[in-house]
Amino acid sequence: MNAMQVTAAALWGILLGAIFFGGLWLTVQRLEGSRRPHLLIVGSFLARSLLAMGGFYLLSGDGLPRLMIALVGFFLARILITRRLQPSMESREGVGEL
């Protein structure tokens, strides 16, 4: 496996992770205004999971090393999105106080 293949697998993993965890964030944002939040949660989970599993299935055709690199990229996307969307300290002041 050359450097270009490693980079491509990592980027595909990051893309899948960004779609999965970005979709989760969008779902949570829309819950409050939803008339049927249970359908939103289940539908979003199924769509995000099927997309991620389909992507990993396609990546697995080239062997386990490529799949493992894509999984690392997937979880790297989770870390990046979580840090990016984390509220700042100023906006957390007063949270939890009664």
Q: What is the pLDDT of residues 29-47, one digit of tens each?
A: 999 999 999 999 999 999 9
Least confident of 8-12, 19-23, 88-92: 88-92
pLDDT higher than 70, residue 95: no
pLDDT score at 29: 93
On the CB side of 16, how many CA atoms lie within 13 Å of its CA?
25
pTM given for the model: 0.82
Across 63-91, average pLDDT: 88
Rounded distance between C-alpha atoms, residue 31 and residue 51, angstroms: 21
Tell whether the torsion through CA atoms of 4, 7, 10 and 12 is positive or negative.
negative
Burial category of 66 from C-beta neighbours within 10 Å (exposed 0-12, middle 13-18, buried 19 and up): buried
Considering the chain, what percentage of its residues have pLDDT values greater than 90? 76
pLDDT of 3 strictly over 70 = yes
Higher per-residue pLDDT: 94 or 12: 12
CA distance linking residue 35 with residue 45, whole number of Å: 17
Q: What is the dihedral of CA 34, 39, 41, 46, to 10 degrees?
A: -140
**DSSP tag of 88:** P
